[in-house]
């Protein structure tokens, strides 16, 4: 009777030891991944800080361009939403007009309505604003680089 009980206890002990070793390995891997991610972010922040300190004029131009075009995109988001709806985006795309078209278009750009699991009109407005800011940053950054190259040639 005690032989069977001892065998069960030994098996249970082996299972617990294996689970503990596996958990320890998982924690070690997760720690290594987290450490690598923190190092990567720190390196990226350091590189950005170096670029900003070396090129304050270019940085200001890019930031100004991003803010200006992001703000313009935010202001024009309802019109952009209506255009997206008129282009056939969304459930009733192309059949709506006015505020309904704007709402439907922005919801479609936001991944769908809140009820359908999307981000709704707010998500669409965020997408339009972010796209405008990225476009502005790209254009102003390109213009700043071009201006720097022209000034180096003169």
**Structure confidence by residue, pLDDT tens digits, 124-143:** 999 999 999 999 888 888 88
Rounded CA-CA distance 88/96 in Å is 10
**Structure confidence by residue, pLDDT tens digits, 43-102:** 877 887 887 788 787 788 888 888 888 889 999 999 999 999 888 887 777 788 889 999
**Local confidence band at 2 (pLDDT 50, 70, 90 cut-offs):** low
pTM to 2 decimals? 0.60
Rounded CA-CA distance 69/62 in Å is 11
Burial of 85 (0-12, 13-18, 19+ CB in 10 A): buried
Burial of 68 (0-12, 13-18, 19+ CB in 10 A): middle
CA 93 to chain CA mean position, Å: 27
Beta strands in the chain (DSSP E): none
Calculate what percentage of the chain has a pLDDT beyond 90.
29
């Amino acid at each position: 009777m005690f032989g069977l009980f001892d065998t069960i206890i030994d098996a249970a002990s082996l299972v617990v030891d294996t689970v503990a070793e596996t958990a320890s390995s998982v924690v070690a891997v997760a720690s290594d991944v987290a450490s690598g991610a923190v190092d990567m972010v720190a390196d990226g922040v350091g590189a950005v800080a170096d670029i900003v300190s070396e090129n304050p004029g270019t940085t200001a131009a890019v930031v100004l361009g991003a803010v200006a075009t992001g703000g313009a995109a935010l202001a024009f988001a309802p019109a952009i939403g209506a255009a997206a709806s008129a282009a056939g985006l969304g459930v009733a795309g192309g059949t709506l007009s006015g505020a309904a078209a704007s709402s439907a278009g922005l919801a479609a750009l936001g991944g769908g309505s809140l009820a359908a699991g999307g981000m709704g009109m707010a998500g669409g407005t965020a997408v339009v604003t972010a796209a405008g800011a990225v476009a502005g940053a790209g254009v102003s950054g390109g213009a700043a680089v071009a201006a720097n190259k022209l000034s180096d040639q003169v």
